[in-house]
Amino acid sequence: MTVLVDNAAAPGVLEAAGIGNAARLIVAIPNVYEAGQIVARARAANAGLSIIARAHSDADVEHLEQLGASHVVWVSARPRAGWSSSPVSVQTEATG
């Protein structure tokens, strides 16, 4: 397993970590725009990659899905419409 401590949104970092050969990526940073940048770059580098990303709002979920996240974990004090009533809701359908 490759572990690289760096800013994954920075050019070249995902490639240095071997994203082209990776099976999955978990993006759990709080800034949805940076997370989206990581998701988009990872998806472009590896179309078959399973990407799990964290969101804090409906808008975040949609943003990350549009950029290629396979699964989105929605963290909130209130559940998203149609999802589990627990504070953490997980979308189980692949979108990519």
Tens of pLDDT along the chain (96 residues)? Answer: 656 788 898 999 999 889 999 999 999 998 999 999 999 999 999 999 999 999 999 899 999 999 999 999 988 666 556 655 444 444 444 444
2 CB-near residues (< 8 Å, 6+ apart): 17, 18
3-state secondary structure of 29: coil
CATH number of the structural domain 13-90: 3.40.50.720
Where exactly are the structural domains of the chain?
Answer: 13-90
Q: What is the pLDDT of residue 82?
A: 61
DSSP 27: E
> Residue holding tokens 């559940």?
79
> Residue holding tokens 């996240």?
69
pTM for the structure as a whole: 0.77
Task: Say how far apart CA 14 and CA 85 lie, in whole Å.
Answer: 35
Task: Say how far apart CA 42 and CA 28 lie, in whole Å.
Answer: 14
Task: Say how far apart CA 55 and CA 7 lie, in whole Å.
Answer: 18
